[in-house]
Amino acid sequence: MTNRKMHKPMSTHEAELTVVDSPETASSGANMESAQTGSAPAEQSPAEPISAPSLDPSTELPAPAAEESSARAEATVTRAEFEQMRAERDRLVDRLARMQAEFDNARKRAERERAEFRDFATGNVVEQFLPVLDHFELALKASGSVEQLRSGVELIVKQMGEVLRQLQVTPIAAVGEVFDPRVHEALGTVEREDIPDQHVAEEIRRGYRFRDRLLRPAMVRVAHNPAQKSE
């Protein structure tokens, strides 16, 4: 007895359910169907596009190579130009050194001339006072009375005042003048009713002025008059 395998035929409804339940089978079946019919497969919906960042060509793009080569060519100099610039530099450095040396020489010459002029002026002043010194020595050698010595000293003082006047050195007025702190130096006060208040009563040391410049102030005592108010 021959054993025969019996195959139960599958219904059409079960075949369709099998195809639908299997995703891979459905996909392969769709591809085969499209190959048989010649139609293109269905397009899948694309994903949402991602926006790319904007670029600034002027700042982020590299410079053209042609411009770089042109700038490099302009920056290069020839050997002759380099030698010329170096010679010009050496000439300027040498000129600067010469000018500095001339300035130093001029400064030293001016200082030497000022020192020579100061020495000449000092010598001229001393020369004018030498006769006064001679008269003082003669007065010390003289043998006379006290009145004769006094008159001789007065003549010497007068001669010295004349020398100072020639040098434009003038004495500062003191006694009887209003006290001026710019030219008077007060050493104290004295009560005097015959002299107005805040006026110079006594002169202790005479002051002198050279032209418009004060050489030394006059040392004085100022009068204090209690019976009179200061102006």
| Cα 204 to Cα 221: distance, rounded to the nearest angstrom | 8
Q: What type of residue sits at position 193? A: E
CA angle centred on 57, ends 55 and 62, rounded to 5°: 115
The whole-number average pLDDT for the span 151-157 is 88
DSSP one-letter code for 199: B
Summary mean pLDDT of the chain: 75
In the chain, % of residues over pLDDT 90: 28
What does the pLDDT read at residue 63? 53
pLDDT: which is higher, 156 or 74: 156
Say which residue, 131 or 68, is predicted with more confidence: 131
The pLDDT value given to residue 218: 92
> Lowest-confidence range among 92-106, 143-157, 169-183, 195-209?
143-157
- List the domains of the chain with CATH numbers: 79-167 (3.90.20.20), 169-231 (2.30.22.10)
User: How far are the Cα atoms of 118, 119, 180, 214 from residue 198, in angstroms, in the given order?
Assistant: 41, 43, 9, 22
Average pLDDT over residues 169-185: 91
User: Residues 177, 206: contact at Cβ < 8 Å?
Assistant: no
**pLDDT at 118 > cutoff 80:** yes
pLDDT-based confidence at residue 71 (cuts at 50, 70, 90) = low
Q: What does the pLDDT read at residue 72?
A: 58
Angle at CA of residue 163, ends 161 and 165, nearest 5° = 70
Q: Average pLDDT of 112-126? A: 89
Judge contact between 153 and 139, C-beta under 8 A.
yes
The arithmetic mean of pLDDT across residues 99-114, rounded, is 93
Residue 97 has pLDDT above 90, yes or no: yes
Alpha-carbon span 179 to 172, nearest angstrom: 12
pLDDT band at 75 (very low <50, low <70, confident <90, very high): low
The DSSP secondary-structure symbol of 131 reads H
Instruction: Give, in order, the Cα–Cα distances in Å from 91 to each of 86, 94, 96, 223.
Output: 9, 5, 9, 76
Give the Cα separation of 220 and 189 in Å (integer): 9
